[in-house]
Amino acid sequence: MSAEATNPVSAAEAAGPDAPSRRRARPRIDLRRLGRAALLGPTTRDRLPDAIGHVAEAHRAHHPDADLTVLRRAYVLAESSHRGQFRKSGEPYITHPLAVTLILAELGAETTTLTASLLHDTVEDTEVTLGQVREQFGDEVAYLVDGVTKLEKVDYGAAAEPETFRKMLVATGNDVRVMSIKLADRLHNMRTLGVMRPEKQARIAKVTRDVLIPLAERLGVQALKTELEDLVFAILHPEEYENTRALIAENTGAGDALATIAEHVSAVLREADIAAEVLVRPRHFVSVHRVRLKRGDLRGSDFGRLLVLVGEDADCYAVLGELHTCFTPVISEFKDFIAAPKFNLYQSLHTAVAAPDGAVAEVLIRTHQMHKVAEAGVVALGNPYVPAATGEGAAEPAEDGERADPTRPGWLSRLLDWQQATPDPDTFWTSLRADLAEDQEITVFHADGGTLGLPAGASCVDAAYARHGEAAHACLGARVNGRLATLSTVLNDGDTVQLLLAQDTASGPSPEWLEHARTPAARIAITAWLQTHPETAKAPAVAPRPPAPVTADRRSGARLLADLPGIAATAVRPAGCCTPVPPDEITGFQVRGGSVTVHRTGCTAVGTMKRLGREPVTVHWGDTAECRVTLVAESFGRPRLLADLTEVIAAAGVAVVSATVEPPTEQRVRHTYTLQLPDAAGLPALMRAMRDVAGVYDVSRARRPASQED
């Protein structure tokens, strides 16, 4: 869409000191000169028009063998259809699609994207139809042009924002190149925003800040994101922007400190025979502002970072080893985004080292390909729908007609899933902005392998829905790093999570889950379930009942005999701390009252008794297989749990002597059963059957302090 004149921020400042080196090497195109060239049109049919010569140069830098014929034809159509149209700044309108296309060409976009970029306003603003675009340039170009056109047709007023960005998200999900063009379009419009009224500048800047910049971050297009951040910063926070600009101007020699460290790093890597390119990478304005807020007074090395580029992944770790050997590493600054890439495809090693003079330099280590993706994100991945040279690797259309995009990041797939479950635009908008506001992500590991990317602060509830979708309604709890955890447990980067699901798929979440859900996917799924099951949401909280013993058959346990004169069989009893049953190896100790308490030989109480000088008594099992045992079932609370456990016990032919249910704590409940088994050999099978009951995560023999037996 039309954007307007010249922004108060100069072009050089808008690009920021952190702009990619290839963009710094190529001077900004003079729009007025470009406008004159555009008005002249093509001079011959055999050469590219002068107006897109710079686009061709940038494109060939990334794609030396690209066929530029289609770009020439696209420019001719765009220039002729936009002829007579002017931007508010006075330049011919064709300068806008040319500038957008140049942005994408510098990022390395492939020919199809550049062709669609040249034509992205023709269907909306001229007499050219989508059918004509399809006829002349094919289905792919027409699809992209149509996607961008649909986004541009909706007003960006406050009332229209929710539905606007729902459409934007859907279009992005079907082909990320649509959003690439949209981001480049917004960047050029932001560069030329100055003639608009201040209130309109502020409104557009806020939408850019709240939605488009986070989308650029998630698509990995850092080159666009950083410049957009600086442009928004200048409009919404002019005083802070001017202070930051002045600070950078006052520290023009700050790069010398980093340059000195860079030379030292280069020498270290040469000695180690590691081929690497070491660059000083200045920070852009917003980055400097954030660092100043975090650290206060800045040193010279704080105004930039070192970037080390190597050929292979293994070289990255070799560089890291040399740096940590020859310099003092700041361990807290180390992050490995190669082994665990970020959600936006970003890969790099981050570290920081201290120079001999105490200056700390942040260092980024990556391969050249990683750097290309770090700068351009999905734009650098090319056209996912074109077959590879071997004919393999092309993305096949889905059966329902939706395009299967192998470059689509996982977060985008998740957003597409939950937006379909949110018919209300306002709810969608709130959830989208909340999700985009999460600028930090953690990686957690499945217990059975694989990883999950979640926003920082996510809980086990979020992990359950990210892993299992609606099947997470039946989640009962989790183990985090091997330890039992409630669903409310907040996860940390690197945690290993095992989610425990009930076999009963009819069970569902409780309203309390919403208090622990951070991701839109979890919140929307839980809300939808509660709306379809209002009885769950409205059910009053029931105070836990006190433990209630249930008495049944009181037949005696297995027969125990002691090799001690004068001790009757009735005076020999199993210890409650380890509850021995046949055929456990056992030993006994005489206690107060003359009776003998029998322990399993591995019981900790045995060692305690011996240290106290108690002499062990030889004991053995009688000739009966019958035994009495106390089992403790640890489980997550749910309806019918007690009934299901007692049903399993009864099915095994075991009698319940007593049962106690403790009040639930943090969604967990403990059942204690004293059972009479007709044959001790059936105990292992019974315990396995009890563990298989939905919600039960452990069954063990009862253990009580030995002092209770004495």
Q: Which residues are registered as beta bridge partners of 699?
A: 633
Active site residue 495: no
b vs e for 7-43, b when ≥16 Cβ sit within 10 Å of the residue's Cβ?
bebeeebbbbbbbbeebeeeeebebeebbebbeeebe
Please say if 644 is a catalytic residue. no
Q: Which structure tokens are listed for 120?
A: 């992205």
- Residues whose CB is less than 8 angstroms from the CB of residue 484 and which lie 6 or more positions away in sequence, other chains included: 477, 478, 634, 668, 697
How many angstroms separate the CA atoms of 497 and 472, rounded? 14
The DSSP bridge pattern shows strands 335-336 and 328-329 to be: unpaired
Given 50, 57, 125, 240, the catalytic residue: 125
- Contact in structure between 301 and 359 (CB atoms under 8 Å): yes
Q: 668 has which bridge partners?
A: 636, 665
- Name residues whose C-beta falls within 8 Å of residue 469's C-beta, 6 or more positions apart in sequence: 417, 525
Q: How many residues does the chain have?
A: 710
DSSP helix/strand/coil, 641: helix
Q: What 3 state SS string does 435-503 have?
A: HHCCCCEEEEEECCCCEEEEECCCEHHHHHHHHHHHHHHHEEEEEECCEEECCCCECCCCCEEEEEECC
Selecting among 4, 50, 57, 124, the annotated active-site residue is: 124
How do 441-446 and 496-501 pair as beta strands? parallel
How many whole angstroms separate alpha carbon 438 and alpha carbon 112?
A: 32
Angle subtended at Cα 151 by Cα 146 and Cα 155, rounded to the nearest 5 degrees: 140
- Return the biggest CA–CA distance within the chain: 121
In sequence order, which residues have a C-beta less than 8 Å from that of residue 58 and are 6 or more positions away? 26, 102, 105, 106
DSSP-based three-state secondary structure for 229: helix
Give the integer Cα–Cα distance in Å for 488 and 459: 6
With the C-alpha atoms ordered 597, 601, 606, 610, is the resulting torsion angle positive or negative? positive
Return phi, psi of residue 704, to 5°. -130, 155
Catalytic residue positions, numbered: 124-125
